[in-house]
Amino acid sequence: MSVERDTAKANLVVDSMLLVLKGKEKQYRTEYVAAIFARGDQLTAKKSYDQAFKYYYDARQFALKNLDQCNYYEYTYRFGMARYLQERYLEAIPYIKQAIAESETCKSPEDLARVNLSRQAYLNTLALCYEKAGKFEEAINYYQKTVSFIDSIALKRPQNAVFWQTALGVIYGNMGGAYAKLNNYKVAERYLKLSIAINDRLGFDPTDAQTAKLKLADLYIRISNFKAAAVLLAQLQQILEQKKPEMQMPTNSKLRLYELQWQYADKLKMKSQAYVFLQQYYKLHDSLEKINKNLKITDMSMAFKAHDQQYKLALLTQENKTKKIYIIVFIAFSAMAICVLFLVWQNRQRLKSLNTIILDQNADLHEALTALEQSQEENTRIMKVIVHDLRSPMAAAISITSILLKNEKLEPGDSELLKLLETSSINSLEMTNDLLNMNTKLENLLKEPIEMHTLINHCVNLLKFKVAEKQQKINIDLEEIVLAANREKLWRVMSNLIVNAIKFSPAGAQIDIKLFKVNEEFAQVMVKDYGIGVPEALREKIFDIFTDAKRRGTSGEQPFGLGLAITKQIVEAHGGSIWLESEVGKGSTFFVELPID
């Protein structure tokens, strides 16, 4: 309620409200708080500031105890406005911000409608506080926030278009004034003209339009646009001379108009007119100073101090509650952490025990493996000695039977027995040769440059007698390739593969041998026969030493099962690989791939 209002009538209305609500304060809590605040407003209008602040304080205390935040944000704002009226703008800002924060707790559609109507006013007041405190950048920032808020709400509520346009006009006028104080006259002029265009219409806010015209006239005087200033000052003087109460200019606007008329006349060197306006200005200024003197010197007295203390106490209480919650959470997490650490320690102890057992077992296994390796090496050495010693008598037996078989005077029965002895001796000698080539290791290989094509030719020539026995034919296609390898071992590989092809090919069959470079790093040997082939179930077993995939040749040749196993050992010891492609009844192809260097 302002100075111009009928304070006596207002006092009567407030007395009636309090009388009706007496004894029903808790039943009509919102209405009771509104009535107490209205009493504070009525006392403020009468300039009884100490009493007014007491009512404000009592109303807020009641609201804090009995209303939720959504229902007392308006009263928090009143405290901010009290500071604003005292021109203590920076002290008003926290209250207004708090009121905005409290209003954000409102969620129901009815509350939101009420909040939206007041929110733009709160933001505008906040901006005014910054502006009057000399913080123009912050003020413009909040004016722009207010404009954005109004734009967003106006779209949702077109039925209140006049209200929102009026509010927008007020904000534009205030924003223009702030830009003018930053000497940004072009932007200031634009916003002030927008404000006047909106509110200087019937049904809008002519009082605010007057304020915008005063600001624009001040701007024109500053930039020496006296012609435009004169037009505005004439319009304002015309309003000042109006007799109708609804058209009268507010006292503060009158004071500002006198000041601008004085400055205008002074700048145009119209001394007598300037003196008249100066007298009018100071007369009204002194009158207002007397009226507002109590307001400016009055503090919120004990009510505000008590309020601040209560507020701080509430904050401390809330802080203590929060701390208690943090302590409880901390204790809970600490207990959990201790449990986790205990479980980790327990598991660590168990893992240490298991680790000790595993280390002991590994040591035992290492010792057993070392013993087995030593035993294997010893057995291999003994076996090779025995096999080597067996070769001499077998070779002698083969030589003797060969000589005896040349005797044409032998009886048929004796000749048959000698041939059997010769065959058995030859087979035994081949088996001893295979045994000597077992367990080939890379570190035991003595490598030298070998002409692989020459080695294969030599093997073929040595096995011609076997080929001739079965009336077979060997086709060779060999590139000239030199490998770094062990000659004896590779000779054994090629001999085993060719003998294998002869053994499992029928009489009169063809055998193909091919040598070629795969690339600059590897060479490949292919031995292909057209014999009985290898069943799929046996293909993975034929390279094992202790395989059960032994089969007789096409002419009943005795299998030992060591040839391909030894061949694979030798090839892999050279860093190569061996594999098989076969089709039962159509033949088999063995591939050997060896590194060139």
pLDDT band for 378, please (50, 70, 90 cuts): low
H or E, element range at 337: helix 301-405
Is the pLDDT at 233 greater than 70? The verdict is yes
Q: Classify residue 266: in a domain, yes or no.
A: no
Q: Give residue 45's pLDDT.
A: 74
Single residue among 216, 245, 274 that ends a domain in this structure: 245
pLDDT band for 174, please (50, 70, 90 cuts): very high
Secondary structure string (H, E, C) spanning 166-227: HHHHHHHHHHHHHHHHCCCHHHHHHHHHHHHHHHCCCCCCHHHHHHHHHHHHHHHHHCCCHH
Q: Classify residue 33: in a domain, yes or no.
A: yes
Three-state DSSP class for residue 107: coil
Q: Classify residue 63: in a domain, yes or no.
A: yes
Which residues are CB-contacts of 595 (< 8 A; sequence separation ≥ 6)? 483, 484, 521, 522, 574, 575, 576
Q: Classify residue 467: in a domain, yes or no.
A: yes
Q: Give residue 3's pLDDT.
A: 40
Average pLDDT, the chain: 81
Q: Give residue 141's pLDDT.
A: 95
First to last CA, the chain: 107
Whichever domain contains 28, its CATH number is: 1.25.40.10
Q: Classify residue 419: in a domain, yes or no.
A: no
Q: Give residue 379's pLDDT.
A: 61
Is the pLDDT at 223 greater than 90? The verdict is yes
Q: Classify residue 536: in a domain, yes or no.
A: yes
Residue type, 127: A
Structure tokens at 300: 């919120």
Is the pLDDT at 334 greater than 90? The verdict is no
Residue type, 375: S
Is the pLDDT at 2 greater than 50? The verdict is no
Task: Give the range of the structural domain holding residue 521, as residue numbers without chain letter.
Answer: 444-595
User: How many structural domains comprise the chain?
Assistant: 2
Lowest mean pLDDT of 155-164, 281-290, 343-352, 384-393, name the range.
Answer: 384-393
pLDDT band for 549, please (50, 70, 90 cuts): low
Question: What's the mean pLDDT in 5-25?
Answer: 76
pLDDT band for 4, please (50, 70, 90 cuts): very low
Top pLDDT among 423 and 196 is at: 196
Top pLDDT among 571 and 245 is at: 571
Q: Classify residue 576: in a domain, yes or no.
A: yes
Q: Classify residue 362: in a domain, yes or no.
A: no
Lowest mean pLDDT of 223-227, 326-330, 482-486, name the range.
Answer: 326-330
Three-state DSSP class for residue 338: helix
Lowest mean pLDDT of 154-168, 210-224, 452-466, name the range.
Answer: 154-168
Residues of the chain with pLDDT > 90, as a percent, come to: 27
Q: Distance of alpha carbon 552 from its chain centroid, rounded?
A: 69
Question: What's the mean pLDDT in 482-511?
Answer: 90
Is the pLDDT at 437 greater than 50? The verdict is yes
User: What is the C-alpha separation between 226 and 260, in angstroms, rounded?
Assistant: 12
Instruction: Give the residue from 533, 538, 536, 525 showing the smallest Cα distance to 567.
Output: 525
Single residue among 245, 264, 299 that ends a domain in this structure: 245
Q: Give residue 375's pLDDT.
A: 65
Residue 102 backbone dihedrals phi, psi, to 5 degrees: -65, -35
Q: Give residue 5's pLDDT.
A: 46
Single residue among 188, 210, 245 that ends a domain in this structure: 245
Residues of the chain with pLDDT > 70, as a percent, come to: 81
Lowest mean pLDDT of 6-10, 84-88, 137-141, name the range.
Answer: 6-10
Whichever domain contains 589, its CATH number is: 3.30.565.10
Own/partner contacts of 570-577, CB < 8 Å, gap of 24 or more, are 570/437, 570/440, 570/486, 570/489, 570/490, 570/492, 570/493, 571/493, 573/440, 573/441, 573/442, 573/444, 573/445, 573/489, 574/442, 574/445, 574/485, 574/486, 574/489, 574/490, 575/442, 576/522
Is the pLDDT at 160 greater than 50? The verdict is yes
Which range of 110-119, 474-483, 552-561 scores highest in mean pLDDT? It is: 474-483
User: What is the C-alpha separation between 577 and 567, in angstroms, rounded?
Assistant: 10
Which residues are CB-contacts of 282 (< 8 A; sequence separation ≥ 6)? none
- Render 14-61 in DSSP notation, one character per residue: HHHHHHHHTT-TTTTHHHHHHHHHHHHHHHHHTT-HHHHHHHHHHHHH
Question: What's the mean pLDDT in 136-158?
Answer: 86
Percent helix / strand / coil, the chain, rounded to 5: 70, 10, 20
